[in-house]
Amino acid sequence: MKKGKSNTKEYSNSGESIISGAEAVIRSLLSEEVELLYGYPGGAIMPVYDELFKYRDKLNHILVRHEQGATHAAQGYARASGKVGVVIATSGPGATNLVTGITDAQIDSTPLVCITGQVASHLLGSDAFQETDIIGISTPVTKWNYQITKASEIPLILAKAFYIAKSGRPGPVLIDITKDAQFEKFKFSYKKCDGIRSYFPKPQLGDEILNKASKLINKAKKPLIVFGQGVILGEAEKELKKFVEKSGIPSAWTILGLSALPTSHPLNVGMVGMHGNYAPNVLTNQCDVLLAIGMRFDDRVTGDLKTYAKQAKVLHFEIDPSEINKNVKVDIEILGDCKESLSKLTPLIKNKEYPDWIKQFKDLEKIEIDKVINEDLNPKKNGLTMGETISAVNKYTKGDAIIVTDVGQHQMVACRYSEFIKSKSNITSGGLGTMGFALPAAIGAKMGAPEREVIAIIGDGGYQMTIQELGTIFQNKLPVKILVLNNEFLGMVRQWQQLFFDKRYAETEMVNPDFVAIAKGYYIKANRVENRKDLDRSIKEMILSKEPYFLEICVEKEDNVFPMIPSGESVSNIRLE
**CA-atom Rg of the chain in angstroms:** 24
Helices (H), 221-373: 230-233, 237-247, 278-284, 299-302, 338-345, 355-368
Helix, strand, coil content of the chain in percent (nearest 5):
40, 20, 40
Q: Which of 2, 16, 33, 129 is catalytic?
A: 129
Angle at 277 between CA 273 and CA 278, to 5 degrees: 105
3-class secondary-structure state, position 462: helix
Q: Can you say whether residue 12 is alpha, beta or left, with left for phi > 0 and alpha for psi between -120 and 50 degrees?
A: beta
* DSSP letter (8 states) at residue 71: H
The C-alpha atoms of residue 569 and residue 274 are separated, in whole angstroms, by 10
Of 108, 344, 89, the closest CA to residue 210 belongs to: 344
Task: Return phi, psi of residue 273, to 5°.
Answer: 115, -175
Q: Which of 35, 46, 54, 130 is catalytic?
A: 130
Active site residue 67: yes
Active site residue 550: no
Q: Which of 23, 51, 67, 333 is catalytic?
A: 67
Neighbouring CB atoms inside 10 A of 264's CB total: 10
Q: Is the peptide bond before 563 cis (omega within 30 degrees of 0)?
A: yes
Q: Which of 160, 179, 222, 446 is catalytic?
A: 179
Q: Which segments within 376-466 are labelled E, that is strand? A: 402-405, 426-428, 454-459
Active site residue 501: no
Active site residue 274: no
Q: Which of 492, 510, 542, 564 is catalytic?
A: 492
3-class secondary-structure state, position 66: coil
Of 485, 487, 491, the closest CA to residue 455 belongs to: 485
The C-alpha atoms of residue 416 and residue 231 are separated, in whole angstroms, by 19
Of 66, 105, 56, the closest CA to residue 89 belongs to: 66
Active site residue 179: yes
The C-alpha atoms of residue 315 and residue 319 are separated, in whole angstroms, by 13
The C-alpha atoms of residue 374 and residue 414 are separated, in whole angstroms, by 15
Bridge pairing between strands 332-335 and 426-428: unpaired
Give me the active site residues, please: 67, 129-130, 179, 492
